[in-house]
Amino acid sequence: MLDIGCGRGTLVKQARNAGYEAYGLERESPVGHSVPGILYKSLPECHFPDGHFQLVVLWHVLEHLSDPVSTLREINRVLAPGGWLSVAVPNYGGAQAKASGANWFHLDLPRHLWHFRPESLERLLLGCGFQIRRRSKFSLEYDWFGTLQSWMNSALDDRNTLYSFLKGSEKPRSGSLGRIAASAALTIPALLNVLWDGFCGRGGTLEFLLQKTASSTDCRPAQ
């Protein structure tokens, strides 16, 4: 298994503990922190053999890549025929993005270089030699918080400060208690909104489970 953009390596550690040969890729190595199996390189720099992996995970990473097509080509190469690719990205065509506009939490400029609607992502993945086995437009984890933060961005000009506060990258400041109270009050309405969007097929996250076709030897993006 290969987890591209593995963060702290939680999935890699779980897979290794279960007896799998698992690797993760990240951009930079945290100071004083090393996890077995995590490589701080780009995918092409690793020079994995052809057809080496049975599963590649690309979870909220594709939108960060300067050249997603090249990455999908390399994934296609290192996956064995019949191997699996798991992809998740924010849904630019979902109700959350349309309602929030420039205040959409998952817009995340300039870190997100690309945004995908279901149709464009499907064309890209099919053109790179993958067959779609399962698709979803709903993620409770990402959609719930995304809706909550997007609402706060719109109503309070929050600019993702709740997210930064929860991540520990921003210290409490004047007005923090008010924002926490506002987020608490909006939690249940946001959940109900997310469940409705998911029921209507307009959720804020695209998740695809794909399989490399047995005859696939190249990756040509669909026109």
Domain boundaries, the chain: 48-212
CA dist 15 → 2, 5, 11, 163, 207 (Å): 10, 15, 6, 28, 21
- Residue 60, C-beta contacts closer than 8 angstroms, at least 6 positions apart: 5, 88, 89, 90, 142
Q: What are phi and psi of 150, to 5 degrees?
A: -65, -40
Tell me if the pTM is above 0.75: yes
Which pLDDT belongs to residue 184? 86
Q: What are phi and psi of 120, to 5 degrees?
A: -70, -40
Beta pairing partners, 56: 2, 85
Which pLDDT belongs to residue 99? 95
Rounded Cα gap, residues 117 and 123, in angstroms: 10
Which pLDDT belongs to residue 205? 98
Q: In the 8-state DSSP scheme, what is residue 91?
A: B
Choose among 41, 57, 62, 47: nearest CA to 4. Answer: 57
* Binned average pLDDT, 10 residues per bin, the chain of 223 residues: 94 94 88 78 94 97 95 96 97 96 94 96 95 96 94 83 71 65 89 96 97 67 44
- Torsion sign, CA atoms 202, 203, 204, 209: negative
**Homologous superfamily of 48-212:** Vaccinia Virus protein VP39 (3.40.50.150)
Which pLDDT belongs to residue 182? 81
- Residue 62, C-beta contacts closer than 8 angstroms, at least 6 positions apart: 68, 71, 87, 89, 114, 116
**Residue 197 identity (one-letter amino acid):** D
